[in-house]
């Protein structure tokens, strides 16, 4: 069977402010995971519109499209195009799970929730001519899933081809989180078996890994087994965690000893009231600065995530946040304008209050104001958000944040990473266009210096060549 799998480009990836490097980071693992359920004799073409021009002159029998909120209209257009050509259309992903009625007219079958149980059932039904209109996930278990079809991924087009996911979902339920609708009706957080996760890591070439899990440290027994198993693998990796997991027990030390070199942390806001409003209870009462000191003592870089536009924010929130991030030597920061995604509690509450301005999903990219604000005007919010990025990544602030580290090598590393990530766009663009992006990885790993505090049980290991992704 001729099967085409498509990840349409997010709208913001095609905007005048598009940073090509940001959208050339990770391959579409979700589609490559589903491809593993196809037969060996199926001819599969997996295309990612972020890194290649889609070929729409082909003639597949089955088209599978992954839909996020800001690629939804593009996904529907592609679905309609291939439907006219006689292909059978499958739509799945976060946006389809949030708004199945919207997606349904464009598809022959839609998938609600994770697809590890429904996609193989669909394939069997399709081959037997009895495919259903709606497939709804019911089994939350990824033990024994087949190896990802990484042979379908064009590795040379990605900065981090060795991305990996060893769990699904998150144990927390923040009001603004897009994932809750996806995992509605069952377990919202579950993991692979440790041995299977380690086997997947073993199959990946090179040293560098990026765990795309929402919360890599979210299941203590699993994470302990994973990090213990990774000791001695000579890997360097990045992942995501929460403040409470960093401060609890010795799990972050185990992660550092296994090779963790940067971590994405959702600080979100410095206001207790805003944390309560967004139901981010795992951050309430936690000592942010103690967690930062602990991570820095282990040689782990920090990408801090912050949300602007919560109801307690005032016009000075942007300066306060940037000053705090610089003072605490965060390596990189990701700033967002609060965005009420459909399917979230935040969207339901704002819709009930009449605060949703429109449903133009192209603008739901965390860079635009799409709701009626409180405390800040929409213009203040947008201007402050833009200024926060410019201010944090200014050369003076990059230098100041770098100098906050005790170790000279850590200072130099911070300065090079933060500056390199945001200040050398022509170089990144050249590497992307010449398809030399992935070729830089071994070189960058080889030239890294060591930070001696990284491993408490032995000599320091090189840090990851990339800042936590912002």
- Please, where in the chain does CATH 3.40.50.280 lie? 2-136
Tokens 């994405």 found at: 264
Contact between 36 and 145 (Cβ < 8 Å): yes
At 407, the pLDDT band (50, 70, 90 cuts) reads: confident
pLDDT in tens, 109-120: 999 999 999 999
Q: In which band, very low, low, confident or very high, does the pLDDT at 443 lie, cut at 50, 70 and 90?
A: very low
Topology, domain 2-136: Rossmann fold (3.40.50)
Q: Are 295 and 302 in contact (CB under 8 A)?
A: yes
For residue 18, name the pLDDT band (cuts at 50, 70, 90): low
Let me know the angle formed at the C-alpha of 390 by 385 and 393, rounded to the nearest 5 degrees: 120
Rg (CA), the chain: 22
CA atoms of 434 and 3, how far apart (whole Å) = 29
Reading the block at residue 105, the tokens are: 């007219």
- Unique residue bearing structure tokens 């912002």: 470
pLDDT at 184: 76
pLDDT tier for residue 423 given thresholds of 50, 70 and 90: confident
C-alpha to C-alpha distance for 242 and 246, rounded to whole angstroms: 6
Q: Which two tokens stand for residue 73?
A: 């209209």
- pLDDT tens, position by position, 207-243: 889 999 999 999 999 999 999 999 989 999 999 999 9
Question: What pTM was estimated for this model as a whole?
Answer: 0.90
Residue 324 — left, alpha, or beta (φ > 0 → left; ψ -120 to 50 → alpha)?
A: alpha
Q: Where in the chain is the domain with CATH 3.20.20.70?
A: 159-446
- 168 beta partners: 190
pLDDT surpassing 80 at residue 128: yes
Is pLDDT at 461 greater than 50 in this prediction?
no
Q: List, as one string, the DSSP characters of 223-291.
A: HHHHHHHHTTS--EEEEEE-HHHHHSTTHHHHHHHHTEEEEEEEEE-S-HHHHHHTT-GGGTT--HHHH
What does the pLDDT look like over 158-195, one tens digit per residue? 988 999 999 998 887 777 777 777 777 777 888 999 99
**Arithmetic mean of pLDDT, 346-354:** 95
Is-contact 303 335, C-beta < 8 A?
Answer: no
CATH class of 159-446: alpha beta
Q: What is the pLDDT of residue 462?
A: 34
For residues 448-453, average pLDDT:
46
* Crossing angle of helices 220-230 and 251-258, rounded to 10°: 30
**What is the average pLDDT score of the chain?**
88
């Amino acid at each position: 069977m001729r099967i085409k799998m498509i990840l349409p480009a997010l709208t913001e990836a095609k905007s005048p402010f598009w940073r090509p490097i940001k959208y050339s980071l990770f391959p579409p693992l979700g589609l490559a995971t589903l491809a593993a359920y196809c037969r060996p004799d199926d001819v599969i073409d997996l295309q990612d519109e972020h890194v290649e021009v889609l070929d729409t002159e082909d003639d597949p029998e089955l088209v599978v499209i992954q839909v996020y909120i800001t690629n939804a209209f593009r996904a529907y257009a592609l679905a309609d195009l291939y439907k006219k050509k006689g292909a059978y259309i499958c739509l799945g992903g976060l946006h389809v799970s949030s708004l199945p009625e919207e997606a349904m007219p464009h598809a022959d079958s839609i998938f609600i929730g994770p697809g590890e149980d429904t996609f193989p059932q669909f394939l069997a039904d399709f081959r037997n001519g009895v495919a259903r209109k709606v497939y709804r996930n019911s089994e939350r278990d990824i033990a024994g899933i087949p190896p990802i079809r990484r042979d379908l991924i064009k590795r040379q087009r990605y900065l981090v081809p060795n991305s990996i996911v060893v769990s699904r979902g998150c144990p927390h339920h923040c009001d603004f989180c897009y994932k809750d609708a996806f995992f509605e009706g069952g377990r919202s957080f579950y993991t692979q078996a440790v041995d299977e996760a380690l086997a997947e890591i073993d199959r990946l070439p090179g040293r560098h890994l990026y765990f795309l899990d929402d919360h890599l440290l979210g299941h203590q027994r699993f994470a302990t087994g994973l990090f213990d198993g990774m000791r001695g693998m000579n890997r360097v990796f990045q992942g995501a965690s929460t403040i409470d997991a960093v401060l609890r027990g010795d799990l972050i030390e185990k992660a550092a000893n296994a090779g963790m070199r940067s971590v994405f942390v959702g600080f979100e806001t410095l206001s207790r009231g805003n944390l309560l409003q967004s139901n981010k209870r795992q951050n309430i009462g936690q000592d942010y600065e103690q967690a930062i000191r602990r991570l820095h003592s282990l040689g782990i870089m920090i990408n801090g995530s912050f949300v602007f536009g919560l109801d307690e924010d005032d016009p000075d929130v942007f300066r306060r946040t940037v000053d705090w991030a610089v003072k605490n030597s965060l390596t990189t920061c990701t700033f967002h304008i609060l965005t009420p995604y459909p399917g979230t509690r935040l969207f339901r509450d704002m819709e009930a209050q009449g605060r949703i301005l429109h449903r133009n999903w192209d603008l739901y990219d965390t860079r635009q104001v799409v709701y009626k604000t409180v405390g800040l005007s929409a213009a203040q919010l947008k201007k402050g958000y833009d200024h926060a990025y410019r201010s944090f990544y200014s050369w003076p602030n990059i230098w100041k944040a770098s100098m906050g580290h005790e170790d000279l090598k850590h200072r130099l590393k911070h300065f090079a990473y933060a500056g390199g990530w945001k200040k050398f766009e022509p170089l990144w663009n050249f590497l992307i266009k010449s398809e030399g992006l992935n070729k830089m990885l071994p070189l960058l790993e080889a030239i890294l210096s060591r930070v001696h505090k990284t491993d408490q049980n032995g000599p320091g290991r090189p840090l990851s060549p990339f800042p936590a992704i912002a």
